[in-house]
Structure 1
Amino acid sequence: MDEKPKIIKFEVPESLHTEFKILCARLQENMKDRARGLIEADVANSKSGDSPSTEEENHALSFLKRLEQKDLPKNGELVVFAHELGVSVEFLKMLCDCVRSHDGVKVGK
């Protein structure tokens, strides 16, 4: 049985809204779904005794989910992911190459 949804409504500065919208577009995610996912991750981490998720963890999760779906990021996206995650572009390219070597890869546009 599904729970009745409740609305959470809050205001953020316009600049934060713009940056979040750009982030979601870059990650090809719906703003509402991403916000819900961030809240769910924080609550789950809190319940398990972990600290709330960090932005770096969310970028890593997004990158890994795309790899799992065989939706490989473009080179420009790899540079952004590498910078945000603090790893080399070459390392991320190596991961993508591993995924690409399997059949059925959907390459990002």
Structure 2
Amino acid sequence: MYKKNPQGLMRLFKATSYSYKGICAAFKHEAAFREEALLAVVALPLAFWLDVTQVERMLMISSVLLIVLVELLNSALEAVVDRVGSEHHELSGRAKDMGSAAVFIAMIIAGYIWLEALFI
């Protein structure tokens, strides 16, 4: 029998549950994600507490969430590369290095935004 894809609220519920599973998996298996989640737990309330403009606050919050977002994508990329094979391959190493570089750039963006908002 043909099984129809979920629609409406059921589709939203399933998508949300998949997202939750992804966050739980990242938290369980990725030390870098746990560290960046801790950063977010500290930085997000701090952004609301600091005396900054609304635009600065939005940028500060967005930049921290950007780090978490890019780390999730990097972790997903690393999981796929590891799934393909454990032997060393130049392209696998390059993919992992590029994912790490993306996280690093997100951190530079966040650092710049926070420094500008707080000190300049």
TM-score normalised by the shorter chain: which range applies? 0.3 to 0.5
Q: Which has the higher helix share?
A: 2
Specify the structure having the higher radius of gyration (Cα).
2
User: Structure 2 length normalisation: TM-score?
Assistant: 0.32
